[in-house]
Homo-oligomer: A and B are copies of this chain.
């Protein structure tokens, strides 16, 4: 006997060339990740939806991008910029202007589905070199033409939105090379527009490409790894999935070169100095508001995948998982590389999504690990062989002390296969009116539970709303909290209001405004309240110094020039 099962028609084809959908679709046009049958059932149940709600996709954004606004930049400016970078590196067609004006926020996706387009630049410019950037910045500074740097467009906070027109400056088209691997110093000198995979691949192939004796790794693997650039990692203060061991983007940068309206400079590549406040560090996190990064010298690490030790555990409660994680982070034996704990809702739904053998579930329940309480912990240890072995042993010892049961390394390995693909599911869900979005924060250990509880209470107060939370970047002094929420949303206004409420509750309960997504324009209005007027005055003073005419990513970025 066969049961007739309804399966929604998830999109299976690449978006039409030139369509709105091709702008907002995440990642590879030909890659899809659909909700599993179990997820589909869960979504229907949670959101009181029926198969009928999944019969027709809505607002798919399949039409061709058409803008109602021709470029307004003066012809003489366009000519000059074409002279600088070459005519072939300047475009102003509707599609380019929209594509390079868009990031990956839910709002942008909702708008583009309706054929609505927010701000766009007049020109899209693809500089070939540092010199191109210098000439463009000089010219735009003199003529007060706004510049919006664009790397790979995975911003989730309107970081690339050209609020005031001008030019979108695309750094990933040409300025995307590894220039040098210095094996003696264990550094790589790169251009800012290189994507994660190209960078990592060059480091793996360093013996062939740069005549090194060893292979290397960059150590930075954010979920957006495949669609983000090294420059983007640094100027937005990103953090990779293995950051607990390798450090955040902030820690990976040895030196940088910037082109700003106030001049071009390159910081020294000393591993440490005592020569006053560090301009190298001031530029990190500047989100394009001070200048354009044209080169960076990055720490790299020996690539030794053969030493990786994976582990996963189930903890009886969130409190036990947090306590064990703190004990690991403060244990002085080195840190795991991947290091994640999921709260009960994420654990429960995650197990549904990825499946857990029935006998394991039965075993766990018999041992008192309730599905509404238990928490998944997974990770790995990297580095030198004995070091990694000891980290894995200590993690196991501590996990057991806090009542965890080992699930072997298998779930960690399985998680790695999906580590970059989660964002692909967003479009499928939104085709049927379900929003999935994330907000994240940094917390000290002593505020973790307040923030987790407070933000969850706010989210769950909304009927039919899912909220899954994990912590995945650990430090001796605290960690991050990453909130994923799913809801059926009627429209943009409701979404905006709800999202703002989450951010306000993060602040209210003691979290930072961002751990690794950056600020962009979305969170910028809260910066004054968060950092206070004295610190914001410092950031604004620097803004006026570097960019007296307000041409660098102007219009709200970082809250500096609202």
Contacts and interface: CB of A to CB of B under 8 A. Distances in A.
Interface stretch (A59-67, A144-152, A262-270, A309-317): A262-270
B518 A274 contact: yes
A142 to B, nearest CB: 18
A248 interface: yes
Interface string A342-383: 000000000000000000000000000000000000000011
A374 to B, nearest CB: 24
A282 interface: yes
A184 B445 contact: yes
Given A184-B446, A282-B538, A304-B332, 9 more contacts: A184-B445, A237-B276, A263-B533, A264-B534, A267-B535, A268-B531, A274-B285, A276-B286, A333-B383
Contact of A273 (B185, B479, B513): B513
Top 5 closest A-B pairs, CB basis? A271-B475, A237-B274, A265-B534, A333-B384, A332-B383
Contacts of A535: 265, 267, 279
A9 interface: no
A541 B544 CA distance: 9
Interface string A29-73: 000000000000000000000000000000000000000000000
A179 B241 CA distance: 35
5 contacts: A185-B444, A263-B533, A271-B475, A274-B285, A274-B515
Given A265-B532, A286-B276, A270 B443 contact: yes
A23 B313 CA distance: 61
A515 B274 CA distance: 5
Interface stretch (A133-141, A385-393, A411-419, A459-467): A385-393
Contacts of A186: 330, 476-477
Interface string A519-542: 100000001001111110111011
Interface string A221-244: 000000000000000111100000
Contact of A301 (B283, B290, B332, B530): B332
A527 B330 contact: no
B185 A478 contact: yes
B286 A277 contact: yes
A326 to B, nearest CB: 8
A330 B184 CA distance: 10
Nearest to A523: B275
A491 interface: no
A394 interface: yes
Q: Which of A299, A383, A393, A538 has the most CB of B within 10 A?
A: A538
A377 to B, nearest CB: 19
A272 interface: yes
A121 to B, nearest CB: 23
Contacts of A534: 260, 262-265
Interface of A: 182, 184-187, 236-239, 248, 250, 254, 260, 262-265, 267-279, 281-287, 290, 299, 301-302, 304, 326, 330-334, 382-384, 386-387, 390, 393-394, 442-446, 473, 475-480, 512-519, 527, 530-535, 537-539, 541-542, 545-546, 558
A299 B277 CA distance: 20
A512 B299 contact: no
A444 to B, nearest CB: 5
A476 B272 contact: no
B281 A477 contact: no
A477 B275 contact: no
A151 to B, nearest CB: 15
Given A279-B538, A333-B387, A535-B279, A514 B262 contact: no
B334 A387 contact: yes
A541 B442 CA distance: 30
A271 B478 contact: yes
A542 B539 CA distance: 10
A393 B387 CA distance: 11
Contacts of A267: 535
A232 to B, nearest CB: 12
B182 A269 contact: no
Q: Which of A187, A276, A518, A546 has the most CB of B within 10 A?
A: A276
A32 to B, nearest CB: 30
Contacts of A250: 272
